[in-house]
Amino acid sequence: MKRRRLVALVVTAGISVLMIAGYLIYTALAAKEEEPQQTVLFSAEGISEISIMRSEEELTFVRQGGDWVYAPDRDFPLNTAYVGDMEDALASLTAVGMIDKGDPAVYGLSTPACRIRAVALDGRVFECEVGSVNETADIVYIRTGGAIYMVSSGFARRFSHTLLAMAERGKLLEIEASQVKSVALENANGRFELVQHPDGLPGGFDKLTWAFADASPADAQKAKELVTAVTGMRPTVCVAYKPDEQTMAACGLDAPAATAVISYGGGSLTVHVGSQSEDGQYYAWLPDRKVVYAFDPQTPELLADTDAGDYMNRQVFPVGYSRLTYATVEHGGDSVRLDFKEYGKAWDFYYALTSLRAEGIAHEQPAGDADVRITAYTEDPQVTYTVVFRKYDDDFYSTDFLGYIQLVNKRDIQGLLSILGA
């Protein structure tokens, strides 16, 4: 008997739930049938202020010089597109139906999801409460002026974002590598700084456009890649704004794994890389913006792991063609002259020579005479360039033309000499 009563109670409860759901759908659809003409609840040529009040936070946005800002803190890096969507929704708000009677609790209006207040440019004020969403009918219930209306569910979505969700999440800097003056990086491997020299380094090294702070040549391509990686970082989520010490420590930012500083014509960008989150992303602190973001791991790991050696110049002969008149190449007891005023073999040789890239850096130069000696002359008799290659081991030749020892693959030297028929 008890079992039958229990089953009956369950069935009765299920029927009640279905009846309530059916009633909500019926009232929504019936209202649409009864009122095919949409009811305009509010319209304005423009909005000057929007406030959203929820149990967990209150947000107010105002116009400043034509742009939207977060009123309590106008420095907050707001993505104004979110507020623009809200403004569009309020500027022409229409209802698809009206609920004449009913318990507000049924429509989620006894404890609204949020309250909205908007001030039009002409001073008129609109206020409403947002209730529950009826997904079947694709509407949301709102209450304004004491009446309950149904509007498109998209209205509720536009006002559902938290402040942190509305933070700007574009590229950190919208600039080209050519606009950057320098990039400094500090991590567990030490600190180094790369400085851009658009006109090349002194001494006729036109192709060396980046150098370390001590003026030793750096790899231009690698420097550009580093700059592009940092400026192109895109946050996946805003974690905190003006974080306290506890939040910074929780994100590993009390002792950053890496710090990068990009200096450019309009200012600078500083990025402190913290610890890795459980989902594999890295926290990073942008002190100028007072924001902690989360980023995909590729660039933060690059910043934490790289060292100065990764950016040493690998180009062997970074001298511009226009500076040269002729060259002599000595190898195996033979000497060949190349006239750079004549194209053909001379140009092919120059192109191959300037295309040589070291595959490694060594600390000691092997003893012995040069295996290959290239002397390039210019119109100034006081300026010559001499490149000496010595056999380093079975796979590499070495040269110290730029003041440090570069290791060049033996096959590349053989290819260079083959142009001469050697």
Residue with tokens 């180094």: 192
Q: Which residues contact 303 (CB under 8 A, 6 or more apart)?
A: 185, 187, 230, 257, 258, 260, 271, 273
User: Other C-beta atoms within 10 Å of 204: how many?
Assistant: 18
Q: How confident is the model at residue 37 (pLDDT cuts 50, 70, 90)?
A: low
Same domain? 280 vs 356: no
Q: Identify whether 228 is part of a domain.
A: yes
Task: Give pLDDT, residue 422.
Answer: 57
Burial bucket for residue 160 (CB in 10 Å: 0-12, 13-18, 19+)? middle
**Cα Rg of the chain (Å, integer):** 35
Same domain, 136 and 192: no
Residues 36 and 107 in one domain: yes
Of 218-222, 315-319, 339-343, the range with the lowest mean pLDDT is: 339-343
Q: Is residue 316 part of a domain?
A: no
Residue 10 scores a pLDDT above 50: no
pLDDT of residue 38: 79
Domain that holds residue 17: 2-166
**Strand bridging mode 258-264 / 267-276:** antiparallel
The sign of the CA dihedral 232, 193, 207, 310 is negative
Element (H, E) at 183: strand 180-187
Residues 6+ apart with CB under 8 A from 243: 251, 253, 285, 292
Whole-number Å distance between alpha carbons of 301 and 258: 9
The better pLDDT of the pair 29, 401 is held by: 401
Say if CB 266 and CB 231 are below 8 A apart: no
Spatial separation of the C-alpha atoms in residues 410 and 416, rounded to whole Å: 10
- The answer, yes or no, to whether residue 127 has pLDDT greater than 90, is yes
Domain finish residue from 281, 311, 341: 311
Q: How does residue 4 score in pLDDT terms, banded at 50, 70 and 90?
A: very low
Task: Provide the pLDDT for residue 371.
Answer: 94
- The answer, yes or no, to whether residue 1 has pLDDT greater than 70, is no
The confidence score (pLDDT) of residue 368 equals: 83
Q: What is the mean pLDDT of the chain?
A: 91
The reply to whether 274 and 368 lie within a common domain is no
pLDDT at 16: 54
What does the pLDDT look like over 43-96, one tens digit per residue?
Answer: 999 999 999 999 889 999 999 988 999 999 999 999 999 999 999 999 999 999
Q: Does 310 score more than 80 pLDDT?
A: yes
Per-residue pLDDT at 367: 84
Q: What is the CATH number of the domain that holds 216?
A: 2.60.40
138's tokens: 């694709």
Residue 171 lies in a domain: no
* 23 confidence band (pLDDT: 50, 70, 90): low
Q: Tokens 């005023």 correspond to what residue?
A: 341
Single out the residue in 166, 192, 216 at which a domain terminates.
166
Distance CA 309, CA 190 (A): 11
The answer to whether 353 and 374 are in contact (CB under 8 A) is yes
Q: What is the pLDDT of residue 19?
A: 55
Distance CA 314, CA 208 (A): 10
Arithmetic mean of pLDDT, 393-400: 95
Based on the domain organization, do 35 and 63 belong to the same domain? yes
pLDDT digits (tens, 9 = 90+) for 194-238: 999 999 998 889 889 999 999 999 999 999 999 999 999 999 999
Question: pLDDT above 70 covers what percent of the chain?
Answer: 91
User: Quick one: 38 and 129 in the same domain?
Assistant: yes
263 and 335, same domain (yes or no): no
Rounded distance between C-alpha atoms, residue 66 and residue 68, angstroms: 7
Residue 258 lies in a domain: yes
Q: 287, 311, 335: which is the final residue of a domain?
A: 311
Based on the domain organization, do 115 and 23 belong to the same domain? yes
In contact, 90 and 47? CB cutoff 8 Å: yes
Contacts of the segment 252-255: beta carbons below 8 A, 24+ positions apart? 252/276, 252/283, 253/283, 253/285, 253/292
Q: Quick check: 29 pLDDT over 60?
A: no
| pLDDT > 50? residue 323 | yes
Q: Are 209 and 302 in the same domain?
A: yes
pTM for the whole thing? Answer: 0.81
- Long-range residue pairs from 221-226, CB within 8 A, at least 24 positions apart, any chain: 222/310, 222/311, 223/177, 223/183, 223/194, 223/196, 223/311, 224/177, 226/183, 226/185, 226/194, 226/302, 226/306, 226/311
| Contacts with 391 (C-beta within 8 Å, 6 or more apart), sequence order | 366, 368, 371, 397, 410
Q: Within this chain, do residues 161 and 229 fall inside the same structural domain, yes or no?
A: no
Asked whether the predicted pLDDT for residue 39 surpasses 70, the reply is yes
